[in-house]
Structure 1
């Protein structure tokens, strides 16, 4: 890149290409275009030459639209091919003239051999241009071709057919002998592949061996992923896990969702108080941002804004799309900030391990695959009460309910609709809900 032009190290956008097309139509030089776009002139030159559009011009040529000879206007030759003895037709009007005439010289334009390499901005083109083969630069065509090339360059595998065949000759026979991909790659470092790559190639059917030839993979069920992640990266500004750790909190709230089986769209919004080990769950009809905010608003109205702010001052959650609008969750019904929300790192559920352990107790009562379609909030409250009435070793044998009663107060627990369960009546099996139905 030219040292006089500060580059932005970015790909050309559609807006940049439209600007290039407009300036070429005005006759602007590559140097001036590059200066405006903060690019090197060679970047503009390569862009125009790589994506110029060929145009077969069928009008304005002499006799034959496909005659490219520079002498076609003044040539009086006849029967240059020698195929027909009594041919009196001029060769300039014959389709085979350019292929058979020894004096053929292809017509060309200087604009196409050097900058700007296209007919954009040519005054001769507007009036009358006899050149049969023209080139033009179209911004939208160039951008589409560039995107297609960018996409195609990222598809397929980074390996030739010859290399793939050599690896297949080693891998497939060993898999048929019952060896695992890890076993094969450990004994054959010359393959220069990772285990994950080998599994991926087998799954794509690139080798003679298939997934069915693997000893264990055929028994694995495909993973079901319920959650979709937050796509707007601006949400995580000042809300990352290292920002949360810098607060050095002793007690806060962890938040997550538990999904039903595929037959039901109902979801449980779960919360866990790390200091009191108190577990909460709220039934939502849909796993959406609006449903989560509705639970927050309902709790704030029950507890009052001041009490809600003191109890839910800091919340740590994962990156599920249902938590993708933190500003709405942090802002109360009166426009006052009621909480501060932070996000765990990707694929790091252990950063809210207390809540994950509480989910294991929840799954004792609602095993995976259980439909929440016929659950009510009363059922969910009953489950939560039994979980919170279970003594914890980390609390010195006390229950989360009794610890929360001292720390948060009876009014807060009443707002959560919690009540204690007698020790001998605690039931952490699916019979707890089936019995009540």
Structure 2
């Protein structure tokens, strides 16, 4: 048995502070001592910690390593200070986060209700709660932190549930379009329709399920100022079906509709026959109807691309429309499109 003076002496720069966690440097010293054959008790004595601390640390940081010996695989178990430090850092990260979550459980429960039942975004829940003072600042968690919680797996919400975080490509449906503009171009649209300050300017589009052109489609009409979405389920993607649906919409909302901007799809060829002040975007310029594009993506959460709309019901579409229209929007101070649209139509219709 070696005398104490013959044992390897660890190069300790700073004495261990009682009651504090092991440092990265101390874990490195533990690895050196362990590799040199020092006992847990001797390592503990030199570091100035309890032997049980070293015992627990070595269990936590032991890794399985494979070596070749005489042409055969041999597995060795060895303490790794890098692995131990990584596990410690992960544990520290998790032990801090839940404490804030536990303090904010009422808000987290509200987040779950609005997210899963009403399809609100995380930011919409945070913004709406702040504007309406539903919780104190101490009870709430900010948007950025909530997204971090999702990434760390600390919430019931997963990244796959977050439509806006998915790196999907929502390709524009390819349909036969006229190379010429059907009527007046978007450049002739009143300036008041551009800045979203005046109510009554709409964007028009269709959402397909399967792309064979023979099945049902959804007509979408979005008011630019309030972001209010109006939808209709059409039997087909043709001008007659579009005009039939728009006549019903005009009967209900006619006084509120000042202009309509559509793309150059053949299904929108007869808008002028309805007496609509219609304008057409440049060919292949979906960005000129940004409100349509965003709301179409939101509808895709209920009606995925590639899924036939022949089985969709008007009740399902109405429910999806209501969920979207009751979603608070950051750009509008976390008011909902339904609230803003109701105020505007009341002013227009008296």
Based on CA coordinates, which of the two structures has the bigger radius of gyration?
1
TM range (shorter): 0.3 to 0.5
TM-score by length of 1: 0.37
Of Structure 1 and Structure 2, the greater helix share is in 2
Greater RCO (Cα-Cα under 8 Å, separation 6 or more): 2
* Structure that is richer in strand per residue: 2
